[in-house]
Structure 1
Amino acid sequence: MAAVSRAWPAGACDAHCHIFGPFDRFPLPDDRSFTPPEAPETVLRRLHDRLGIDRAVIVHSQGHGRDHRPLLDALAVGEGRYRGVAVLGAEVRAAEVARLDAAGVCGARFNFLAHLGGAPSAERMRAVLALVRPLDWHVAIHVTGADLIRYAELIAAIEVRVVIDHMARPDLGRNLGACQEILCRLLDSGRVWIKLSGADRISREGAPYHDVVPFARSLAAHAPERVLWGSDWPHVNIKGHMPDDAVLADLVAEIAPSETARQRLLVDNPSAFFRFDESRRGPVGA
């Protein structure tokens, strides 16, 4: 990994990353949607220490199916360094959601991508939202640009805070304008945030992903108080060249050119959105 070109502000947060394993403690389940590489919390911590990142949001991945034990273990080990996002089914019960909440989970993710199971059913979304709304959890939405266009009204109607992962993964050569218009409209609602992550998944040119910068910068300028940044480590389901995390981190200075903008993007916004200043509310038990 290359060295980052500048120091990041104290309290900087990676708002989107994953962990997998260690597999001798948390074996991959049969109901996983793909087979990830082993990427435990210890390796994630070393990466963050090298990049100068103090906090992180670990998003549970369907590589571990519905088994949240790796996430819960990382939250306990992190002692406040991490927050979590869960993937919940319609069968989930209030007691389980309360246990996750006490551990430091503060959001639920819905994947709309075909290789991750496709769009969630209305029944599942209603069931999950009914349980997480009283706890002030957010909902993370993982879509491609085409799905953003298709489900824009559904997303706008969600009655909790929403964050759109990876800038909605638009096709830069096809539906960028339509996606940008929808994202700005969602940002203007005051209930939607956007993760300026996944540049490597969106770029048509490849590293160092400069073709994504104008789009990401326009979102950051449109609603600087409702944007977040994430590494997306360890970059699962990537075809071709594996991204260098230092290169992705260096894009932040181009997306948010001023110190004030970077302070908001990396520190202030994630601190408030993911409730980092709140203490854990009770015992966990993974």
Structure 2
Amino acid sequence: MTSDHTPPGRPVAAPPDPDPTPPGLRLPPLSCDAHCHIFGPGDRFPYAEDRAYDPPDVPEADLRARHDLLGLERALIVQSAAHGTDHAALLDALRTGGGRYRGVALLSPDTPPYRVAELHEAGVRGVRLQFLPHLGAAPAPEAIRAVTDLVRPYGWHVAFHVAGDAVIELSDTIRGIGLPAVIDHMARVDLRAGLDGPQVTALRRLLGSGGVWVKLSAPERISRTGPPYDDAIALAALLAADAPERVLWGTDFPHPNVPRMPDDGQLVDLIERIAPEDKARRLMLVDNPAALLDFPGEAR
């Protein structure tokens, strides 16, 4: 939904592909999409006045339909910057999902502790820190401490949304957060330097440190070659081989602000190239998200 008061120049995100290719790869039962979003609908869940972009309406029903097509039974819904710290849409999806979903929140240092308790009770299991300029100012060290102190009693993970050299510059912060740290979208590294470049090296060192997880999501955001994203998939496969017990996979549906909209069915089929063995795929899609996100061990 686009606001009637959209400031000039604010970008408008394209909607997802309405007719993706059904995937040929059959996913294990209880497979989890560990990174996706919902938007609105804006007439029911208004977007933040200070949002950086105008998203399309993509409510929980659309997300569920896409997951049903792809063979995904669980998901981690990441609060969108377009909704800011108003979690009404996320909370509604968590209620509607009946255990199908977990959530990641966006918090500020002045979020009251009782609100964090309510989010935890609803199924939120992580908080996201944004370090991309187009989404707003990066949190200062004192803000990071305040937010992590809010979620520490619940053992939530801390998701770092970084790009480029930020994975190098923030390595000490990520490693020392004192909670499970999750790096979104393979740190959105610049692949022009190849798989031996300093950003990839820093990312692999973090993954090898033991307390850091990496989402093998959004290859379309970092690929220099375009579909089928051979360069990004090579990085994902390298990370999956480095630490098969601490990688997650996600669609990033509905892919806000990508330069070229991907086909979700094709993204699923690329999983075979990331994790060729059944055991590795089950870890990435079922066991790892169940452990990190507190999903029950048995089917609903």
Q: What is residue 212 of structure 1 aligned with on the other side? A: 232
Q: Confirm or deny that 1:92 pairs with 2:111.
A: yes
Answer yes or no: is the 8 Å Cα contact 1:83–1:106 preserved in 2: yes
Deviations 1:185-214 (A, max 9, x none): 212221100000010001111111122122
- Matching of residues 107-126 of structure 1 within 5 Å: 107-126=126-145
Corresponding position of 2:210: 190
Which position in structure 2 is the counterpart of 1:249? 268
Matched residue count: 278
Residues 44-99 of structure 1 show CA distances to partners (whole Å, capped at 9, x for unaligned) of 00000000000000000111121110000000000100000001011111100000
Aligned to 2:37: 18
Give the aligned CA root-mean-square deviation in angstroms. Answer: 1.3
Q: Note if contact 1:145-1:175 (Cα within 8 Å) is conserved in structure 2.
A: no
Indicate whether 1:233 and 2:233 are aligned: no
Q: Deviations over 1:127-172 (max 9, x none)?
A: 1111111101000000002111121112111110000000001111
- Give 1:282's aligned residue: none
Moved more, 73-82 or 22-31: 22-31
- Asked if structure 1 preserves the Cα contact closer than 8 Å seen for 2:290 and 2:297, the reply is no
Asked if the contact 1:13–1:54 (Cα under 8 Å) also holds between the matched residues in 2, the reply is yes
Q: Is the 8 A contact 2:25 2:268 kept in 1?
A: no
TM-superposed deviation, 1:278: 8.1
Alignment match, 2:148: 129
**More deviation in 103-112 or 207-216?**
207-216
* 8 Å Cα contact 1:33/1:65 also seen in 2: no
Residues in 2 aligned to 1:228 and 1:4: alpha-carbon distance in whole angstroms = 19
Distance 1:156 1:246 in 2: 34
Partner of 2:213: helix, strand, or coil? strand
After TM superposition, give the deviation of residue 180 of structure 1 in Å. Answer: 2.3
Counterpart secondary structure, 1:173: helix
Runs of 4+ more than 3 Å apart: none
Q: Which moved more, 1:73-82 or 1:182-191?
A: 182-191
State the alpha-carbon separation in 2 of the partners of residues 95 and 16 from structure 1.
26
Query: What does residue 167 of structure 1 align with?
Result: 186
The question of 1:2 aligning with 2:21 is answered: yes
Q: CA deviation at 1:175?
A: 6.7
Aligned-residue offset at 1:31? 2.2
Alignment correspondent of 2:59: 40
Q: Kindly indicate whether the alpha-carbon contact (under 8 Å) linking 2:165 and 2:189 is maintained by their aligned counterparts in 1.
A: yes
Of the three residues 171, 174, 179, the one matched with 1:155 is 174
TM-score by length of 2: 0.90
Contact 2:132–2:163, Cα closer than 8 Å, also in 1: yes
Task: Give, in whole Å, the separation in 1 of the partners of 2:172 and 2:147.
Answer: 19
Residues in 2 aligned to 1:15 and 1:126: alpha-carbon distance in whole angstroms? 25
Residue ranges of structure 1 left out of the alignment (5+ in a row): 280-286
Q: Does 1:141 align with 2:135?
A: no
Q: Matches of 2:103 and 2:166 in 1, distance apart?
A: 25
* 8 Å Cα contact 2:245/2:284 also seen in 1: yes
* 2:124 alignment partner AA: V
Could you say which residue in structure 1 is the equivalent of 2:79? 60
The 1-side partners of 2:111 and 2:156 are apart by 15
Task: Output the CA distance in 2 between the equivalents of 1:278 and 1:141.
Answer: 27
Match of residue 82, structure 1, among 101, 109, 113: 101
Question: 1:104, 1:80 → 2: CA distance?
Answer: 8
Distance 1:258 1:270 in 2: 18
Distance 1:50 1:108, change over 3 A: same
Alpha-carbon distance between aligned partners in 1 of 2:175 and 2:185, rounded to the nearest angstrom: 17
**Paired-residue identity, %:** 53
